[in-house]
A and B are shown apart, each in its own frame.
Chain A
């Protein structure tokens, strides 16, 4: 579990008794963000009518996220496009950078995903109340439900709404941690079973690496699309 441990890099930064030191987690956040910015810089450097490779990929990301938002949340969600794009890119690149050997997976830490999820949850709630006022509470009372079931359904709806940040953050965190732990376990088997028996876990390790790359993309996608769905609930109030 050494791969998940956080340790300080450089001097200790202590503001108001809180330890805000630069750590390896911060370093890999910086690396992921720098890769995104570098990639976008190269992708937008030349404004070609017929795009080059990097430009094409950047534009593909753009249209991919734009399509995702317009499909799930409609045209009202357009002002939030930059945020969802940044979120998707950040999670995706943190996951992908985490796939490199000896690197650190930022998103495998519950605190990181929880902060992201809580921010989304609070922002969506504020947007909902700002757009609809107290009518936003009607999200907890689905229409067309028999009166007998209504109290129960409402309670379930409230619980499910409040558990959104938890499910959103735990999903990403658990997926990343489980994947990396599994890779580590199989990697350990390769060593412990040696030359004779190590080939089977090694092949598993190779297959799992492919799977993990898929998961890395998929979890970023799921994180972004769930954000879109929550936004949709807040923007278009019909349950």
Chain B
């Protein structure tokens, strides 16, 4: 019951507020209507003219400027892109040309070096052969010389040995003949 009473009181309180609102609506009092209308028209007119003459053109200009700037920038960017693409193509072409050149140079140099090597090889082989022939010749001569040397040495050794053993000197020419005969017989054994 007390709760209902509270609700009643609250309801009447709201009603009271609303009636108070309706009772004194200053909006419907015509005392200052003319004044409000006059000032509204005056202020709104001033606002309208200052906005339409000064501020809107400024904002519009700025927006247009920005749009143009963006358009220009995009155009520039496209141009740069095209340029860079063509440069890239050029670069690739150069790269390919260079590759071809490299292959060509490689082949050429290989051929050249092969030829060089062959030439040098032949030359060296010839030289080696020549040296070989010379060496053989030298060896043959050395052989011949060495035989005569050996003969001389052996002859002296034999003369010395005989002199030491028997005490008297033998005829040199007979020793020489004997040594030569022996060496002739046995030369095949040592050489």
Which residues of A line the B interface, CB within 8 A?
1, 4-6, 8, 13, 18-23, 25-26, 29-30, 33, 36-37, 40-41, 43-44, 47, 49, 51, 55, 58-59, 62-63, 81-83, 85-86, 89-90, 106, 108-112, 115-116, 173, 177, 181, 185, 188-189, 192
Contacts and interface: CB of A to CB of B under 8 A. Distances in A.
Interface in B133-183: none
B186 interface: no
A43 B39 contact: no
A201 B77 CA distance: 60
Interface of B: 13-14, 17-18, 20-21, 24-29, 31-41, 43-44, 46-48, 50-52, 54-56, 58-63, 65-66, 69
B162 to A, nearest CB: 128
Interface of A is mostly: helix
22 contacts: A1-B21, A8-B32, A29-B39, A30-B39, A36-B51, A40-B54, A47-B58, A47-B65, A49-B69, A59-B59, A59-B62, A81-B56, A82-B51, A85-B51, A85-B52, A89-B51, A111-B36, A112-B40, A115-B37, A173-B27, A188-B17, A192-B13
B63 A59 contact: yes
A82 B52 contact: yes
Nearest to A177: B27
Contact of A90 (B28, B47, B61): B47
Most chain B CB within 10 A, of A6, A51, A59, A110, is at A6
Given A1-B26, A19-B31, A86 B17 contact: no
Contacts of B20: 1
